[in-house]
Every structure is written in structure tokens, then in C-alpha cells.
Amino acid sequence: MSASPFGPPLFAARIKAAPEDFIVEEIATEPATGQGEHLQLWIEKRGLTTTELVQRLCRWANVAPVGIGYAGLKDKQAVTRQRFTVHLPKRVAPALEALEGDGVRVIAQEWHARKLPRGGLAGNAFTITLREVRGADGAAADGPLRAAIESRLAAIAARGVPNRFGVQRFGRFGDNVRQARRMFAGAKVGRETRSMLLSAARSELFNRVLDARIADGSWERAIDGEVFMLDGRRSVFGPEALTPALHARVAAFDLHPTGPLWGRGALRTTEAANALEAAIAADERALCKGLEDAGLSQERRALRVRAEGLTWSWPGDDALELRFQLPPGCYATAVLAGLCGEMGEGAEGQPDGD
């Protein structure tokens, strides 16, 4: 388990005791246009992977998978609300009753001009209920423990959390990086598996850099040679000489320090930031070379993320409900890790915030 900058876990709890304990709702980037060849469906699903729902949409509309658009994968053991587009150029949609049922409910439908692209969302809103909350010594969640949990939550709200790739990215048994090493050594894998293993290898390298910066306390501040990411956008700039103004922008969450998503090309960082990243790359040369040979290019990812609008309540003596929003591609488990350690979400091998 990776160290948390907030200290050791405060409690243990059950996650996803029921699908309603983990609710994820996509935040759209733009409304439907109201006209076009793509039927946009706002769907609530339970107990289904996104891939399984895409297959149902294909059968329902009699279209190939390429005709279905969606912004990202969502958890199976959860209640998730997300948008899908179905390409129907003749504007004849089958009855919704034939699609609904068995864990699927259509909330709304509207015509749209474009296929929904992967990543086409502004973020995700989470409502997570943790049950059977108990302290490390088995103490109930009242008195001192509840006060400690709420103090930790206030610190998370104020500081943000390390933007770690969650355990879902590494496979159900945490085996994806080992498989990636085998693939880079010549083992044959299918196209979908290859993509998953490349993501796992990239995520492993990023997490290694992030852990090193948690260890030296720099995950939430700029160091010499830093490359910055603008909050709410993926545009990056730097490195440049650190100034009080830059430090102030980082403190205000206008800018974030970044780590590498490995690929071809030179690291953009210089000085201390570059030395740290280059040392980890040297330790993991096989992973780096495999990603380079696969044709991926160097990219950057913010080292921290803020749980926007973080609130909490106690719906029961041993139940804690959390509500917050995260940008796309960020994990709810990053927030939970600051409270109760790393917890697997059972997602589809992808971010629970994809």
C-alpha cells in the first residue's frame, strides 16, 4: 500500500455493500443539439459493465459497436448514469421498452449532431456510502473517531489528494504490470488486452514518480524544473524559473505540479524534477522502452486533484456518506485512500472516474 500524505488509515469499512452505495453521474460538457443522426440516451445502469450495455444497445438498435458512442467506462457494481449516442441516420428509434429492464433505465433521450467521443465529459459526480465504519482498534465511529474522520476530510477538502491511478488500472489481481513486462518481452496478446497493459505500465511509472514526491513532500508544491498543468484543462507549460507568483498559483489550485505519462521523446522537466523522473525511468527501463516501442508519446498528468464540493454526512451510526466531483480520468479511490487506505472498486480495469 502506498503511503498517504495525510497519515495512516483512520478506519476500515465496507464499500459497495449495495449498488446504491456507489453512485457515479457523468457531468456533460455540452447539451445535446436537438437534431442530427445520433440519438443521445441518458441511461442509468446497475450491475452491468459499460461494455455489456453497449452490446445491449447494439442489439436494441441493430447497429454495429462503431455506431455507439460513450465518454468513458463505469463501474459494474454501482449505480451509474452516463450518456450514450446511437447512430440512427434514418431517425427511426426502436421502442425504449425493449431496452429497459434488467438493470437499465433510460432517463432522457434527445437527438444530437455528433457521436459522443471517449473523454467527452466534464467530470463525474460521486455519492459514496461507506458502511460498517470501525476504527483500527474496532472502535465505533462516534466520539473521537468521528471527530478524527471529519478533521481528515476537512484536510482533504483543503489540500486535494494525490492523483494516483487506482488499483483498478492494475487488474483484479494486480497482475497487469507483470503481464505488460511479459508482453514487452515478446508475449503475444490481443488488441484490447494490449491497450489495457500499456495503460497499466504507464500508470505504474506515474505512480512511482508520485510516490517519490509524496515521500519528499513535493506532490502539492512546485520544485525546480517543474512542468505545470492548468487546473480544469490539460494544457501544460514550463519549466520556468520559480517565482512567488507561481508558488501562489499552485497554492490556489490554479496550477498543479505534474508527472510523466511515459512515451517517446525527452522528458520536459529539468533540474530536480527531471532528476527524480529520470532516476525512476532508469530503474524501470524495460517498461519505458516497451511504451516507447509501442509508439506512445510523452504526456503529463497532474500530481494532485481536488475533490470539488466535498461534503459528508452520517446516515447511520456506522455509515459515512461522501459527495464530491472529480475531473475525467481521476479516481474516487484517491479520495478514499486518504481516509481508509487503498480500496478496489471493481471497475472494468479502468478509472472509476473515466
Q: Which residues pair with 326 in a beta bridge?
A: 124
317 neighbors 308 (Cβ within 8 angstroms): no
Cell of 46: 446497475
- How far apart CA 81 and CA 62 sit, in angstroms, is 23
**Residue 243 neighbours by CB under 8 Å, 6+ apart:** none
The 10 Å CB-count burial string (b at 16+, else e) for 275-291 is ebbeebbeebeebbebb
Query: Residue 325: how many CB atoms within 10 A of its CB?
Result: 18
- How far apart CA 208 and CA 203 sit, in angstroms, is 9
Told to judge if 354 belongs to the known catalytic residues of this protein, a careful annotator would answer no
First to last CA, the chain: 23
- State whether residue 88 is helix, strand or coil: coil
Question: Catalytic pick from 21, 75, 352, 354?
Answer: 75
Catalytically active residues, by annotation = 75
